[in-house]
A and B are shown apart, each in its own frame.
Chain A
Amino acid sequence: MVMRFGNGFFEPVWNSRYVDHVQITMAETIGVGTRGRYYESAGALRDMMQNHMLQLLSLVAMEPPVDLDPDSVHDEKVKVLKSMRPVGAGLVATETVRAQYEKGIVEGDEAPGYREEEGVDPDSRTETYAALRVYLDSWRWAGVPFFLRTGKRLSRRTTEISIHFKRPPLLLFAEKLAVSTPPNVLTFRIQPQEGITMSFNSKIPGPTTQMRTVNMDFSYGSAFGEELPEAYERLLLDAMLGDSTLYMRKDEVDSAWGFITEILHGWETTGRPGLERYRAGGAGPESAAVLLGSNRWRRL
């Protein structure tokens, strides 16, 4: 929130006129560990998407609150959640992806498949990966897809939000980069290596006009001499101080569950999309790429 509302230069471009799409990723390298029995009844959609992912979505898409009073912030966040276009039985096949990991190599070691984990049904149909394409029916975000993905046993642990801007209206250098003119991307790295990266195209030094993407980086670790507190440290401190800003208000919880429940219902009644399998240590199922159309997920 400080980045978005404490700086003037984000706001003018923070809308459907300049933003092509937004990607929100919460990738874990760990499996279900000893939580197999719980996870069987939850799955990635309930475990991560309903709470963590939708919170990140509401923070990135919300309007500026009138002040920093917790209720003012909650008012704006709940508007975002209410503006999410429902993904019901008629849309789950094209707007969602669900998958389950099978064995592979993660962080240099062999990892078992989900169905081999302790406490997990060998025929389990529980998703350990979920991806969604979400549209917000609001003045600011009309037509801008938000792609959300979360999964266990992926190649790298990362939580981030990336804003993918539209390409320039006239591609003067299109011939130099052909079809792959990379768009500008602003990435908020939430963990690990908390910071912000802006990627843009630069000329390669020399007599010819060739471009490549370069990054402008801000990293909390190298800018400040103090460690950022763990997420739950901050939440516990806020609870002790009576500050509910970072907690969900009841109407937020209701809106988030309302959206997720429709998807769950759609999955249950249609059986679509089918539960895919993905190799542990990879980037997730292949169909998640289809969700993005001509765009690509950011590399894990």
Chain B
Amino acid sequence: MSGVLDPHTIEQEILRIREKESTPFSAGTKTNLFTLLIFRGSTIAAPGAADPVESTLAFLLGKRPARILTLTRANAEKTEAVVSGRCYPDRKNRGVCFEEVRIACGNDGLGADPGAWAPLAIRELPVFAWMPDTLEEELALWEPALRQAAGIFDKLVVDSSHGARAAANGGNALGALGRLRDAVADAFIVSDFSWRRGQVLREQSARAFDPMDMRPHLAAIRRVQLYGGSPAEAQLFFAWLRARLGRVVEVDHAFAGPLAEGFKVTFTLEGSPAVEIGCTKGGCLSRGEEKAGFKAPVDGEILMAEVDDFTRDAVFLEALAHA
């Protein structure tokens, strides 16, 4: 018995740390709401650099108590596990805790096997899997484990924008995601940060063509050009348009950049002037009208929305099928 991943030992350690960490809070601690399994690649963050996953998780601290299991691929002979915990106060000074187990999977194959970490997921509660880094790399590393352990997950959340290679460079994060979705069928829900970020694109587009006098122009759309957004966000947006319009239109992702910095979409129509929509940090422009208050969600907000939401988003799945 190596003991490194013995679930009984780990559970006892979690309990001990939890009691210690929650002691300062006056009104006790809140119990867990879910287990979050984070599947990461071998490269996480450069030494000394801030880890974006940590800052995303920090958004949930004090709001959503959870057990967080982080799996990484380590360039080491043996698998190692570290148990830790941290509690933050909510508004009534009750501790909201993270129980954390970090498993660095070595070449012994121990940590990569679902048998090593599946028993650490809390049985009665939802289990979310999150792939926050380069999706293509993570899927290549973890897809066998995901398939083997499909029964334990309720939802897989990915970020197809993060580190994904552009289609022009041979990258196809959404293709990989679509293949996984087909393979797991209905075993768990699949969701994507890029889809949530792209909501503003879909909302603004729908709003532009929603007035009765604009609806006939939907049939006249010949070309769509997008400035802004990641390659994956653009791909999903174009796929959504194809699915909604029921036909192929010419598309062009003219410039890649964070949606939070702003974007512009130009719909070229046959026989009519082009329709332009767009948002900047100051607000959104639609049919010549400017509306204030454009704020793209930060990753922490998206993660919290994902762990609160059990919706199988049929529109996303339709877009994924068209991507």
Q: Is the CB of B126 within 8 A of A279?
A: no
Interface of chain A residues 284 through 300 with chain B (CB within 8 A):
289, 296-300
B311 near A177 (CB under 8 angstroms)?
Answer: yes
How far is B147's CA from A282's CA once the two chains are assembled, in angstroms? 11
Minimal Cβ-Cβ distance residue in B for A208: B308
In residues 128-186 of chain B, which contact A (Cβ within 8 Å)?
A: 148-149, 151-152
**Given A108-B2, A281-B114, A296-B151: A199 and B310 within 8 A (CB)?**
no
> 1/0 contact trace for A203-219 toward B, CB 8 Å?
01000001111010100
| Chain A minimum-CB-distance residue to B8 | A107
Q: How far is the CA of A106 from the CA of B189 in the complex (A)?
A: 27
Residue of A nearest to B151 (CB): A283
Q: Does chain B have a CB within 8 A of A109? A: yes
Q: A180-B310, A279-B148 are in contact. Are A106 and B124 (CB under 8 A)?
A: no
Count of chain A residues with a beta carbon within 8 Å of a chain B beta carbon: 38
Q: Is A156 an interface residue (CB 8 A)?
A: yes
A115 CA / B307 CA spacing, docked (Å): 42
Mark interface residues in B33-54 (1 if CB within 8 Å of A CB, else 0). Answer: 1000000000000000000000
Determine whether the beta carbon of B123 is less than 8 Å from that of A176: no
B212 in the interface (beta carbon within 8 A): no
Cβ of A64: which chain B residues have Cβ within 8 Å of it? Answer: none
Q: Identify which of A104, A156, A182, A289 contacts B123 (C-beta below 8 A).
A: A156
Q: Does B5 contact A (CB under 8 A)?
A: yes
Residues of A within 8 A of B115 (CB): 104-106, 111, 155, 279-282
> In the bound complex, how far is the Cα of B5 from the Cα of A66, in angstroms?
50
Does B118 make an interface contact (CB < 8 A)? yes
| B110 and A108 within 8 A (CB) | yes
Q: Are B308 and A107 in contact (CB under 8 A)?
A: no
Interface residue SS majority, chain B: loop
Let me know if A212 and B121 touch, CB within 8 A: no
Chain A residues, Cβ within 8 Å of B216: none
Q: In the complex, which residues 130-155 of chain A have their Cβ closer than 8 Å to any Cβ of chain B?
A: 155
Q: State which of A104, A106, A212, A217 has its C-beta within 8 Å of the C-beta of B310.
A: A212
- The residues of A that contact B8 with a CB separation of less than 8 Å are 107
Q: Closest approach, in angstroms, between the C-beta of B116 and any C-beta of chain A?
A: 5
Which one of B127, B151, B313 contacts A289 once the chains associate, using CB atoms below 8 Å? Answer: B151
Closest to A215 in B: B124
Contacts of B121 in A (CB 8 A): 299
**Is the pair A156, B312 in contact by a Cβ cutoff of 8 Å?**
no
CA of A296 to CA of B6, assembled, Å: 27
Contact: A299 with B123, CB < 8 Å?
yes
Nearest CB on B from A221, distance (A): 13
B1 interface neighbour in A109, A156, A199, Cβ under 8 Å? A109
Chain B CB within 8 A of A178 CB: yes
CB of A51 within 8 A of chain B? no
- In Å, the complex CA distance between A296 and B9 comes to 29
A177 to B8, CA, bound (A): 35
The verdict on A83 contacting chain B, using a C-beta distance below 8 Å, is: no
Q: Which residues in window 100-132 of B have CB below 8 A to A? A: 110, 113-116, 118-119, 121, 123-127
Q: Tell whether A110 is near chain B: CB-to-CB under 8 Å.
A: yes
Q: Given A108-B110, A108-B116, do A210 and B151 touch, yes or no (CB 8 Å)?
A: no
The CA-CA distance from A158 to B118 in the complex, in Å, is 14
Instruction: Look across to chain B and name the residue whose beta carbon is closest to the beta carbon of A193.
Output: B123
Q: B149, A180: Cβ atoms under 8 Å?
A: no
Given A105-B113, A155-B118, residue A297 in contact with residue B310 (CB < 8 A): no
Residue A170, interface by CB 8 Å: no
With A108-B4, A282-B149 as known contacts, state yes or no: A179 contacts B114, CB within 8 Å.
no
Residues A210 and B1 in contact in the complex (CB < 8 Å), given A105-B110, A110-B110? no
Chain A positions within 8 Å of B, measured between CB atoms, are 104-111, 155-156, 158, 176-180, 182, 187, 197, 199, 204, 210-213, 215, 217, 279-283, 289, 296-300
Residues of B at the A interface (CB closer than 8 Å) are 1-9, 33, 110, 113-116, 118-119, 121, 123-127, 148-149, 151-152, 189, 308-314
Q: Which 5 A/B pairs are nearest by Cβ-Cβ distance? A: A281-B115, A108-B5, A105-B115, A105-B113, A108-B6
Known A-B contacts: A158-B123, A300-B118. Give 10 more (CB < 8 A). A104-B113, A104-B115, A108-B116, A156-B7, A178-B311, A178-B313, A180-B311, A210-B309, A217-B124, A296-B151
Cβ contacts A to B, 16 pairs, < 8 Å: A105-B114, A107-B8, A109-B1, A109-B6, A155-B118, A180-B312, A211-B310, A279-B113, A280-B115, A282-B148, A283-B118, A296-B151, A299-B121, A299-B123, A299-B127, A300-B152
